[in-house]
A = this chain, B = another copy of it.
Amino acid sequence: MIKPTPLSGFPEWLPGQQLAEQRVIDIIRNVYELHGFSRLETSAVERVSILGAKGEINKEIYGLGRLQGPPGRWEMALHFDLTVPLSRYVAQNSGSITFPFKRWQIQKVWRGERPQEGRFREFYQADIDVIGDSELPLSFDAELPAVIHEVFQKLGIRAQININNRKVLLGYYISLGLDEAKSTEVLREIDKIDKIGPNQVKESLLSLGLDEATADKCLKLCTLRGTPLKVIEQAKALNVQNEIFCQGLTELEFVAEELADLDEESLIFNLGIVRGLDYYTGTIYETMLPDYPSLGSICSGGRYDNLASEFINRRLPGVGISIGLSRLISHLFNQNALDCTRQTPTRILLSLPEERLRPACRTIARALREAGIPTEIYHEVASLKKQIRYADRKGIDYMLFPHQYDDSKQLVEIKNLHTGEQVQKPLAEVIGELQPFQPK
Q: Are B59 and A62 in touch, CB under 8 angstroms? A: no
| CB-defined contacts of A11 to chain B, threshold 8 Å | 43
Query: Given A15-B38, A34-B375, A4 and B88 touching (CB < 8 A)?
Result: yes
Tell me, yes or no, whether A438 is within 8 Å of chain B by CB.
yes
Contact A346 B36 (CB under 8 A): yes
Tell me whether B35 and A374 are in contact (CB under 8 A): yes
Residues of A253-275 whose CB lies within 8 A of B: 258, 261
Q: What is the bound-complex CA distance between A435 and B263, given in angstroms?
A: 27
The stretch of A94-102, A233-241, A283-291, A421-429 that contacts the partner chain: A94-102
Would A344 and B7 count as touching, CB distance under 8 A?
A: no
| Interface window among A66-74, A179-187, A195-203, A221-229 | A66-74
A44 within 8 A of B: yes
Known contacts A15-B97, A100-B379, A358-B258; decide if A112 and B40 are in contact (CB<8 Å). Answer: no
Q: Are A437's CB and B439's CB within 8 A?
A: yes
Does the CB pair B39–A22 fall under 8 Å? yes
Does A53 belong to the interface (CB within 8 Å)?
yes
- Roughly how many angstroms separate A61 CA and B66 CA in the complex, as a whole number? 6
Asked if A47 meets B374 with Cβ closer than 8 Å, knowing A14-B93, A66-B63, A343-B38, the reply is no
- Is the CB of A128 closer than 8 A to any CB of chain B? no
Q: Which of A406-440 contact B (CB under 8 A)?
A: 435-440
A137 on the B face (CB < 8 A): yes
A65 touches B63 (CB 8 A): yes
- Whether A40 contacts B18 in the complex (CB less than 8 A), given A34-B369, A76-B7, comes out as yes
Query: How many residues belonging to A are interface residues under a CB distance threshold of 8 Å?
Result: 105
A64 touches B64 (CB 8 A): yes
B65 touches A375 (CB 8 A): no
Q: A177 contacts the other chain (Cβ, under 8 Å)?
A: no
Instruction: Name which of A44, A45, A358 has the most chain B CB atoms within 10 A of its CB.
Output: A45
**A47 CB, min distance to chain B CBs, angstroms:** 6
- A65 vs B1: C-alpha distance in the bound complex, in angstroms? 26
**Do residues A140 and B379 form an inter-chain contact, with CB atoms below 8 A?**
yes
Indicate whether A324 reaches chain B with its CB closer than 8 angstroms.
no
Q: How far is the CA of A101 from the CA of B150 in the complex (A)?
A: 35
Q: Is A12 an interface residue (CB 8 A)?
A: yes
A380 interface residue (CB < 8 Å to B): yes
Known: A12-B43, A98-B343. A36 touches B436 (CB 8 A): no
Interface residue? A108 (CB, 8 A): yes
CA distance A22 to B30 in the complex (A): 13
By beta carbon, the residue of chain B nearest A32 is B345
A404 to chain B, nearest CB (A): 22
Contact yes or no, B98 A36, CB < 8 A: no
Q: Which residues of A contact B (CB under 8 A)?
A: 1-7, 10-15, 18-19, 21-22, 33-50, 53, 58-69, 71, 74, 76-78, 88-89, 91-93, 96-98, 100-102, 108, 110, 112, 121-122, 137, 139-140, 150, 258, 261, 309-313, 343-346, 358, 362, 366, 369, 372-377, 379-380, 390, 393-394, 435-440
17 contacts between A and B (CB under 8 A): A1-B312, A2-B311, A4-B92, A10-B45, A18-B38, A19-B38, A19-B39, A33-B345, A35-B375, A37-B344, A45-B121, A48-B67, A63-B66, A66-B112, A67-B74, A71-B71, A139-B379
